[in-house]
């Protein structure tokens, strides 16, 4: 793994101007103003390196994988397999066949719910999640509970948006079949102590799934030190293409799990009497996969590695600190989610103004932020707000952009005085 290009960056600081040049969309103007893109928790923008990899794949290497004996198919297969190895090293998995490609985090969770869940969970068993989960880590388990008669247990959070660890621990018992929780909350920014939770769960022989959709682009991931059993994330939040997601699973568990979907490429042999399934990872990748997406994801991983998470994290933490201070100057602004361990997600409400009005007004200043419940309605209910405004920061954002946001919020205040 190459960590950072030291040729252009002499210090450990992030070369923000160089990075911004890598993202063509950042040159766009919205309503005549420079785009200030602060909706990275929804999806991140794509660097030229990823766009080039996609174009190059279709222009030079396109063929179906695992099929032909001809050179082009071999080249496509090689690219696909190489990208899997890149993703495997990116999260420090033990082996690349522990990486399963899916459409997105949602599909990864559904795969585990239906494959692992249906073969391990039965009536009166329990699945433990937390109050800060995205709908994608709630609904698949509700479906599983409906199918099996199992119960969903929800670990509460405190007023700052932090998980109540002791209560989570109390929920784990002999009926618990899985703990599934988010690594980094998309609506609060909270970073959960995943390694500690995994330890608690493992003491009770309970496997843990971690939803890393947000964590994957904010912090380095190490499956060996986290020691979780499943980890899911998605390419499009990782500066990669849409439509490509990842499920990491511990080999021993994946081996025991039945296939999620049946079709081509996931079999070893098919007769009308009996079909035998392919080895990992193919067992879980039925049909022609999103080959270009996988290649693009590999390029995104290369890109992140070339910058280095040490630089990315210190830059984003600086923007979080700066943004938190600057936002507090806006009259009537209340942050939702003020955990001790937090990533660069600033969720807030403005007294007397609905988030959608905020969103429309700041958009006219070129600022793209998310307004709504962020697919975490239970979190909104917990904080008794219908919705929040969310500014989420990625590696290419700047202090100047935070200033533009804050000035735009003062304009909102002008129109909606307290």
Partner 1 sequence: MNDLRELYQEVILDHNKQPRNFGKLEQANCHAEGYNPLCGDRLNIWMNFNGDVIADVNFLGSGCAISTASASLMTDAVKGKTIDEAQKLCERFKDMITSDTEELDSVELGKLVVFAGVREYPARVKCASLAWHTLLAAFKDNNQIATTE
List interacting residues with partner 1 (CB under 8 A).
Answer: 31, 353-357, 360-361, 364, 371-373, 377, 380, 386-387, 411, 415-416
Question: How many C-beta atoms surround the C-beta of residue 26 within 10 A?
Answer: 17
20, 91, 308, 320 from 311: Cα distances, Å: 15, 18, 6, 14
Which is nearest to 208 in space by CA: 232, 170, 250, 180? 180
State the nearest-atom distance from the C-beta of 363 to partner 1, in Å: 9
State the nearest-atom distance from the C-beta of 354 to partner 1, in Å: 4
Q: Which is nearer to partner 1, 298 or 366 (CB)?
A: 366
Q: Which is nearer to partner 1, 32 or 269 (CB)?
A: 32
The number of residues making up the chain comes to 418
Q: Which is nearer to partner 1, 252 or 418 (CB)?
A: 418
CB 180 within 8 A of CB 127: yes
35, 152, 368, 375: the active-site residue: 375
Q: Which is nearer to partner 1, 16 or 30 (CB)?
A: 30
Give the strand order in the sheet containing 99-102: 99-102, 245-249, 230-234, 208-211, 176-182, 126-130, 151-155
Displacement of CA 86 from its chain's centroid (Å): 17
CA distance 101 to 244: 7
Q: Is 112 helix (H, G, I), strand (E, B) or coil?
A: helix
Question: How many C-beta atoms surround the C-beta of residue 262 within 10 A?
Answer: 13
Helix (H) or strand (E) holding 399: helix 399-415
CA distance 295 to 76: 9
- Residue 186: both structure tokens together: 């998309």
State the nearest-atom distance from the C-beta of 386 to partner 1, in Å: 5
State the nearest-atom distance from the C-beta of 373 to partner 1, in Å: 5
> What number of H helices and E strands is found in the chain?
16, 17
Q: Which is nearer to partner 1, 227 or 357 (CB)?
A: 357
State the nearest-atom distance from the C-beta of 372 to partner 1, in Å: 6
CA distance 313 to 353: 32
State the nearest-atom distance from the C-beta of 380 to partner 1, in Å: 7
Q: Which is nearer to partner 1, 33 or 164 (CB)?
A: 33
Q: Which is nearer to partner 1, 31 or 170 (CB)?
A: 31
Q: Which is nearer to partner 1, 322 or 416 (CB)?
A: 416
**Rounded to 5 degrees, what angle do the CA atoms 237, 85, 264 make?**
85
State the nearest-atom distance from the C-beta of 106 to partner 1, in Å: 17
**Which residues does residue 178 pair with via DSSP β-bridges, in sequence order?**
127
Question: How many C-beta atoms surround the C-beta of residue 254 within 10 A?
Answer: 22
375 included as an active-site residue:
yes
State the nearest-atom distance from the C-beta of 415 to partner 1, in Å: 6
CB 396 within 8 A of CB 20: yes
Task: Please say whether the dihedral angle defined by the alpha carbons of residues 355, 359, 361 and 367, taken in this order, is positive or negative.
Answer: positive
- The alpha carbon torsion through 247, 253, 257, 263 (nearest 10 deg) reads 40
Which residues are known catalytic residues?
375
């Amino acid at each position: 793994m190459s960590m950072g290009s030291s040729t252009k960056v002499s210090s450990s600081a992030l070369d923000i101007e160089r990075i911004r040049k890598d993202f063509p969309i950042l040159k766009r103007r919205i309503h005549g103003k420079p785009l200030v893109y602060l909706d990275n928790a929804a999806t991140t923008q794509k660097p030229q390196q990823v766009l080039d990899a996609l174009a190059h794949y279709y222009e030079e290497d396109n063929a179906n994988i695992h099929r032909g004996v001809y050179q082009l198919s071999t080249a496509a297969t090689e690219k696909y397999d190489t990208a899997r190895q890149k993703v495997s090293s990116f999260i420090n998995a033990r082996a690349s066949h522990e990486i399963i490609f899916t459409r997105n985090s949602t599909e990864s969770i559904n795969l585990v719910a239906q494959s692992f869940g249906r073969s391990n969970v039965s009536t009166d068993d329990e699945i433990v999640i937390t109050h800060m989960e995205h709908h994608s880590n709630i609904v698949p388990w509700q479906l599983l509970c409906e199918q099996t008669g199992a119960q969903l247990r929800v670990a509460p959070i405190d007023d700052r948006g932090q998980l109540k660890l002791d209560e989570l621990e109390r929920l784990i018992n002999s009926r618990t079949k899985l703990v599934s929780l988010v690594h980094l909350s998309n609506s609060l920014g909270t970073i959960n102590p995943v390694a500690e939770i995994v330890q608690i769960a493992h003491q009770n022989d309970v496997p843990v799934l971690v939803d890393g959709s947000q964590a994957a682009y904010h912090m380095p991931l190490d499956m060996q030190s986290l020691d979780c059993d499943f980890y899911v994330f998605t390419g499009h939040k990782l500066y990669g293409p849409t439509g490509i997601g990842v499920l990491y699973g511990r080999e021993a568990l994946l081996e025991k799990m039945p296939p999620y979907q049946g079709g081509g490429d996931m079999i070893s042999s098919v007769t009308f009497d009996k079909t035998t399934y392919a080895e990992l990872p193919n067992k879980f990748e039925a049909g022609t996969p999103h080959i270009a997406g996988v290649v693009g994801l590999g390029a995104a991983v290369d890109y992140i590695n070339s910058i280095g998470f040490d630089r990315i994290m210190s830059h984003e933490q600086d923007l979080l600190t700066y943004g938190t201070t600057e936002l507090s100057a806006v009259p009537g602004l209340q942050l939702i989610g003020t955990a001790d361990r937090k990533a660069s997600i600033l969720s807030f409400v403005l007294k007397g103004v609905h988030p959608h009005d905020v969103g429309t007004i700041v958009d006219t200043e070129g600022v793209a932020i998310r307004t709504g419940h962020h697919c975490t309605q239970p979190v909104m209910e917990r904080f008794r707000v219908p919705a929040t405004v969310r500014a989420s920061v990625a590696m290419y954002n700047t202090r100047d952009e935070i200033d533009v946001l804050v000035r735009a919020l003062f304009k909102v205040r002008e129109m909606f005085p307290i």
